[in-house]
Structure 1
Amino acid sequence: MALVPYSDNGVASLKRFHNLNASFNFVNHDIQIKQDWKQLGVAAVVWDAAVVLCMYLESEGVQLQDSSVIELGAGTGLVGIVAALLGADVTITDRDVALEFLRMNVKDNLPCDILRKVSVKSLNWGQSLDDFSKYDFILGADIIYLEETFSDLLKTFLHVTSENSVILLSCRLRYQRDYVFMDMMKEHFTVADVHYDTNTDVHIFRAQRLCTKEL
């Protein structure tokens, strides 16, 4: 999910969110994502951060084949779909209200042999975390925006990661509170800015758990 359209031209930006479909091609697959701004708002449109993260996964040599992946705040599911096409076992998550829409996009865009390796689950950050294990990769696009969710999001990151896990966060740093969250992350993770897309002002951050030594 994301907060609001952040194009300098707000009217032009909103127009694309009112399109009922958004078309992409990743991993040699045509992907048709249904959008529903009117009914579900920010949870049901494709944001720039998701597209940039998909491009990064495909072009930067991230080895997702046979890895375990969880996407947080998946929205339309584009990132999780691309991760599955790249060979990962993927758990795609969002809140209950978005799940039916999310499942539709996943089912419509993945062949049956790949769909068997994908699950769509409800996840409210910080809650019922025992239903989730550790993952090789944790993916999130435009999920850093509401300050009241920061503690629960960090708690979720800590639960689903081991010292070998990699978090990839794609976002635009809009406000000072976004930097506050990054500082919260750095108390538990090494955080590196590994990619910047000049066209969209979107950053991708790579984070891994800090090593802890037993005394």
Structure 2
Amino acid sequence: MDTRQVFVREIEKNDGNTLSINQFEVGDVGCVVWDAALVLLKYMETADFDSGREWQGKRILELGAGTGVVGIQAATLGGDVTITDLEEFVPLMQMNIEANSRLMMGKIKAKALKWKDDIAKLPANLDYVLCADCIYYGESLGPLVETICASAGEKTIVLCCYEQRTTGNKPELEMKFFELIRERFVVEEVSLENQDPLFRSEDIHIMRFRKKPDPT
């Protein structure tokens, strides 16, 4: 990895510590920290999670992690975390794990995962599945939904945070994604009032999914 193409974004946590997240100057969408990831990671420190204490000891999977920032936040709060993305993002995720190792209260590892194709590699007995800004490619919607379904057990909470976009086919992709998700999950939106008072936006939505009971 050519470190000359990397720059660092610092993100302050509520406890006064700072996450240092490496990003690529050029590359695919997974190379930078997107606003939805910031909204989600700051939500993880709110009263909904006992100011972050709720994450201690929880088994957590992040899908489409990119830089890994959301999963890294979960590990600093005490979670047992697996962050995943395509093979080419693993070195960047690993770099960011190492850059923030001094803050880790829990455990974290980075793994390559191709949605749907690598379902057998998913960790079991998850408490949370995290997903930030993953709804943007039409061909990936089905595999993403299949992977979420395969990773979520009866008691798993899926937190999906995304920025609502109005250009091109983005509204249709969002609508299709939630049509597929609602076939298998109960979906509710986290109100703005429950989110971080500074890191929130009417254009960025945090959704909670819980699997519907098996009719059989």
Q: Classify the TM-score, shorter chain.
A: 0.7 to 0.9
> Which of 51, 58, 65 is residue 67 of structure 1 equivalent to?
58
The worse-fitting range, judged by mean Cα deviation, of 184-193 and 29-38 is 29-38
Under a length normalisation based on structure 1, what TM-score does the superposition of the two structures give? 0.84
Q: Could you tell me how far apart the structure 2 residues matched to 1:102 and 1:168 are?
A: 20
Match of 2:212 in 1: 210
Match of 2:135 in 1: 144
Q: What displacement does 1:200 show?
A: 6.2
| Alignment deviations for residues 145-185 of structure 1 (CA, whole Å, 9 cap, x no partner) | 11111111111011111110000001022222211101110
Match of 1:133 in 2: 123
Q: Could you tell me how far apart the structure 1 residues matched to 2:6 and 2:93 are?
A: 17
Q: Could you tell me how far apart the structure 2 residues matched to 1:36 and 1:119 are?
A: 20
Q: What displacement does 1:86 show?
A: 1.2
| Alignment deviations for residues 67-122 of structure 1 (CA, whole Å, 9 cap, x no partner) | 1000011111110111011111000001001110110011111228646x111100
CA contact (8 A) 2:77 2:105 kept: no
Going from structure 1 to structure 2, the CA distance change for 1:65 and 1:112 (only over 3 Å counts) comes to: closer
Q: Could you tell me how far apart the structure 2 residues matched to 1:43 and 1:58 are?
A: 23
Match of 2:195 in 1: none
Superposition pairs for residues 1-215 of structure 1, below 5 Å?
20-28=7-15, 29-38=17-26, 40-62=27-49, 63-111=54-102, 114=105, 117-134=107-124, 135-174=126-165, 175-196=171-192, 199=201, 201-214=203-216
Code of the residue aligned with 1:45 in structure 2: it is V
Q: Could you tell me how far apart the structure 2 residues matched to 1:109 and 1:86 are?
A: 12
CA contact (8 A) 1:195 1:205 kept: no
Under a length normalisation based on structure 2, what TM-score does the superposition of the two structures give? 0.84
Could you tell me which runs of 5 or more consecutive residues in structure 1 were left unpaired when the two chains were aligned: 1-17
Q: Could you tell me how far apart the structure 2 residues matched to 1:119 and 1:68 are?
A: 12
CA contact (8 A) 2:135 2:173 kept: no
Q: Could you tell me how far apart the structure 1 residues matched to 2:158 and 2:75 are?
A: 16
CA contact (8 A) 1:90 1:118 kept: yes
Going from structure 1 to structure 2, the CA distance change for 1:208 and 1:156 (only over 3 Å counts) comes to: same
Going from structure 1 to structure 2, the CA distance change for 1:145 and 1:195 (only over 3 Å counts) comes to: farther
The worse-fitting range, judged by mean Cα deviation, of 78-87 and 129-138 is 129-138
Q: Could you tell me how far apart the structure 1 residues matched to 2:35 and 2:141 are?
A: 21
SS, match of residue 155 in structure 1 = helix
Runs (4+) of structure 1 exceeding 6 A deviation are none
SS, match of residue 48 in structure 2 = coil
Identity of aligned residues (%): 32
CA contact (8 A) 1:91 1:118 kept: yes
Q: Could you tell me how far apart the structure 1 residues matched to 2:137 and 2:77 are?
A: 30
CA contact (8 A) 2:78 2:104 kept: no
Q: Could you tell me how far apart the structure 1 residues matched to 2:28 and 2:141 are?
A: 21
